[in-house]
Structure formats: structure tokens, C-alpha cells
Structure 1
């Protein structure tokens, strides 16, 4: 009787160990391959529906002498990945990038014009690598684009949202219908991640190596985002009051939500980005701003934007807007 009891207990313990180690292995696999369950973390535009969801519009001041339209089927279905070490290289000769960081293909007529707006301060080496990489990346997409770098030159705390507003105003004055707000420490992996606006604002960087290529939470709307100029005007841009603060992305999300404008994404494998590691500045959130977005958005944003323009320089790879906030 006693021996029978011991055999039953050993069998029970043995099965419990198998279950325990099985769970460990399963967890380990998930951690090593987070993209296996990333597909189920959010809804996205499938590849076959991307082209129909794009806003096909070029800048009001842009014209092309090409006869045929650019074809985007191969771009959208491009499964290749650009190597990150491009940041250490130089642009190839004959890149045909105009002063101010503007480019358009010569052999076909693009359907999209995009202004890439980069809020910036004190990351010169990172900016150099970003510009080289992004031009190599964007030239493969057959779009008309221009890169704006908006630098805060005063000594006040960094205000990313206000710099984005300034860049957006400059781009909209130049007639760009599509705006992409882009952190300087982010690089897209796949050319299939088309830098053009969709009918709804798009969170482009939903799959970042820092977060193991998994979207941390559904309302995240930061890093690299695209939005039509008309939609950015509708919500009055972003708040100008986020000096040294986090939450500017939540502010924009709340503004869009109040106008019943939803955000969209591409699938996780297309939306992969590499984030450079750097020393993070300690920032705080102003809950008062975020809690009263609906009440203040009409008076705080593009309509109340004030700053001193120190200089605008057309560099070979970007338009440099230096401002004092």
C-alpha cells in the first residue's frame, strides 16, 4: 500500500516537473521570438489593401517631366531589409538630392509628396547617420520628399511638440500634403514601410527592437507617425506647452480622438524600426495639459504658435530650421 502511494506521488511530481519545464521553454520561445504573437496585438492594413488606403497627392509646387506614373506594387511587396551600418557610410555619387534635402525620381511621376520633420537638438553624429540612411531608404520608394530638421537653439528644456508644429507649418507652406514626424534615433528596416500618408493617421514605428518588436500598448502614437496636413490642421497641431515633458504623443492622440479620427498601422513585420541607444533625459508629464486637451486644443497649437526664427539653411541633405522658443 505504502509503495503504491509512493509510486503515485513520484508520478505526480514527475508530471508537475514536465509541466513546469514546458512552461519555461514556451516562455523562452516567446521572449526570443516576440513577433510570433505580435500579429495579434493590433489591427493593421494588409499588404493587398495598402495602396487603396494611401492618399495619392503631391505638393502644390511640385511638377514632374516624367511621362509614366511610378508603380508602387514592388515597393509595397519588397521583403528586403536595409542594413543599419549604412549610417556609417556616405551617399553614393549622383544621388540627385537637391539642396534642402529634396528628392523626386526622374524616370517616373510620383503619386506622393511627403515632408519628413525631425525635431532635434545636440545629436550631431546621430543626425549625420540618420540623414545618410534615410536618403538611401527613401530613394527606393519612388516618392517626392523633403527632410526638415527643426533645431531648438535656446537653453530652455527641449520641446519636441512645438518643434514639430514649426516644421509642419514650414512644410505646409511649401505645399506638402503629407507630414511624417520622425525621431532622429529611429531607422526603418523595410522599404515596404512606405513614407506616404494613409487616409487615417498612421503609427509607422509600431514594431521597435527596444520593445522586442512588440507594440507596448494600443494607444502608443510616437516615434515615427504620418498624418495628412489637412488632418493636422483640423486638430490644431500639438500643444506648445510640453517643455521638457513627456505626453506630447498622448496629447495628439487625444486631439484626434476628440475629432473621432482613428489611427491605423501596417503589419508588424513591415513596421520594424531600429532605435539607437542613448542616455535618456529625465522627463515628467504634465497631467494638467493631458486632462484638459479637449478644452485647450482650440487655443493651444498651430493657432497660438510663437517662436523666433534664427536661421533657415538649405544644406545638401536637409532643410535646417533653427529656432528660439
Structure 2
């Protein structure tokens, strides 16, 4: 028979095992209670931000079309005063959602002051800034509808003179985003002497209209806080999504690379070019430079570029040899749609440009004659 001392020993061991089991079982419940507490705390913090006004940390946002119906075309042809340096129409956070069934016709009806080619200028004052939006595109019509739905009123709130250019890659060849942006730069500057050019992914929607679509003294990275990255900058030299450069800045870095076929690498190459061109990257704050991404799968023809890291390692040697000074392409068509200018272009493949038999669209009869244009059209 067991002695009294042995019985006590077994009893203590049994109680110890039970305590361990109870601790393990209660661990999950403990974490749930702690998580619940922090959720309540965050809700209280958000509520305080809402009480503090629309320019606080609240990003629930307002309707992007709110108050724009008050804008009307100016009567007569009298000289207009310049718009205020800070637009009185901006409100801060914008509510972004993606309702099903949206059509371009609906977007057009909601933007009656946008004219053919996706052009707009404020009706009641003279815009201080002229901005072109360049959107590299292929097989993303669904995303384009949402971008246009939000971007047109977003830019009108900022009282900009603007135009939207969609640069559509023809054919089923591997996608080349950076080369399409080079094409967009050249073709936009042939039509107008733009002060600033925004290079804009089709699937990114801005969430705060204080993120002004104007250029800075240095190249600007606007999409600093995407929802896909938890509204944080993924790394210091990131220059992807939405970026802005003046024509002089763009030429100073020899534009973007033409040799990144497929997904990845070109954003980092561009960031390096900024530095090699003697410039630095500027950014809005994380609270303002917020973007929501339209979810999608990786496109066919836009597979990950396996050579991107090797190419990046050689940017210092290649940036002056590959860029705006070497871009080759063929315009297949230029269409002035109600909400944007669509430029369909053959940019070839990695093996080079393969001309098509389609007629090349004519340029405008009177393109701006300036020194920049002469630089751009050198062959």
C-alpha cells in the first residue's frame, strides 16, 4: 500500500497537471478578451478623431462627389482670377467602395464639366497647375471604370487643369508598364505643355483629396500608404503605384527603363534613377497619401520577371543608355473618349519592335512648339 507521503506526492502532481491544462485552455480565451478590449479602445479613438473634424485621423470619408454639383460653367468670357493656392473644395478623407454594375456612361453623367479627351479646367477660376495623368493599361477595363469614377471628382476638388491619358498596350505580348509610361509622357507633352505628370496604376484609388496632384521641387511618390501594405511604406526607396514628376525632372533621370518585361523591378529602378539624377524622393504624410487597391489576380502576360534583380544591379551602368532617349513604339490609334484620351500603342517585345500594318494616328495640327518638345521628338 502507498504511504501517506506517496499519496500527497501523487495528489500534488495531479493538481499540477490540472493547473497546466486549465492554463492552456484559458489561453485562447484570454487573448480573445485582450483583443476585444483593444478593439473597443480603437473605436473610442476613432470616435474622438471624428469629433475633431474631417482633417483628423478619421478615414471613413465623405462622398467624393459631395458639393461638386454646385460648380457651373462660367458665364461670358471675362478674365478669371487665379484659383486659391489651397482649394476650398477639398475635404480630406474620401469614402471608397466598389459598387457592382458601374458603367462609363454613369461616370460621364456624374462629370458634366469634363470634355472630350478627359480634359477639365475649373469653371470659375483660372487653374494654377496643369497636370496630366498617365495610366498604363491592358485588359483592365473593369478597374478603369472605378479609377475614372473617383479620379475625376478628386481632381476637380483640387481645382486643377488636367487631362487623363490611358496608354493601352496592344497585342497579347508581355506587359511593360514602365515603357508605356515613357510613351505616355511623350504623347501627352506633344499635346500640351503640362506642368506635372502623374504616373498612375489603374487599380489604385486615392482616399484623401489633400494628397494634391501637383509636382514638388523633387520627384514625388504619392502612394505612400496603400491598404495592401497596411497603410505603411513597405521600404524606404519604394516608388511604386502613383508618382509625380515635372517634365524637367523626368528628362533629368532619362525617364523610365524600357527593358522590364513582366511584373516587378521597374519601380525600384526608377527610384534609383531619381538618386542618380541628383534628386531625392518627396512624399506626403502617411495620413494623407492613402490608397485603396482594387483586388485582382496577377494578369496573364504579366508574370514575375525572373531577371529583375540582375537588371537592378546594373541600373547605375544602364540608366543613361535605356530610357526616354531610346523608347521606340508605334501608335495604332488615338481616341478622344468622353472621360479620357485612349492611346493604343505597339511597344513590341523583348526581341524589339515589330511594326504593324495599322495606320499611325496623326498628331494634333499645332502641337506646342517649345524646347522640351524638340528634346522629346529627337530620334
Matches within 5 A, 1:174-189: 174-189=192-207
Task: Find 2:259's aligned residue among 219, 233, 241.
Answer: 241
Deviates more, 1:64-73 or 1:305-314: 64-73
2:164 alignment counterpart: 147
* Partner Cα separation in structure 2 for residue 218 and residue 94 of structure 1: 37
1:112 alignment counterpart: 129
2:183 alignment counterpart: 166
Determine if the alignment matches structure 1 residue 83 to structure 2 residue 96. yes
Task: Find 2:329's aligned residue among 269, 291, 307.
Answer: 307
Larger Rg: 2
SS of the equivalent of 2:107 reads coil
2:209 alignment counterpart: 191
> Per-residue deviation at 1:200?
1.6
* Partner Cα separation in structure 1 for residue 284 and residue 93 of structure 2: 16
Is there any run of 5+ residues in structure 2 with no aligned partner, and where?
1-8, 10-14, 46-55, 57-77, 348-379
SS of the equivalent of 1:137 reads helix
Task: Find 2:320's aligned residue among 295, 298, 301.
Answer: 298
Higher relative contact order (CA 8 A, sep 6+): 1
* Partner Cα separation in structure 2 for residue 94 and residue 239 of structure 1: 35
TM-score (norm 2): 0.68
SS of the equivalent of 1:273 reads strand
TM-score (norm 1): 0.78
Query: Is the alpha carbon distance of 1:208 and 1:29 closer, same or farther for their aligned partners in structure 2, counting shifts above 3 Å?
Result: farther
2:230 alignment counterpart: 212
Deviations, residues 77-123 of structure 1 (Å, cap 9, x unaligned) = x3341433478353445621121111010211111111100000001
Q: Is the 8 A contact 2:237 2:271 kept in 1?
A: yes
RMSD over aligned Cα, in angstroms? Answer: 3.4
* Partner Cα separation in structure 2 for residue 244 and residue 191 of structure 1: 32
* Partner Cα separation in structure 2 for residue 230 and residue 109 of structure 1: 24
Q: Is the 8 A contact 1:116 1:179 kept in 2?
A: yes
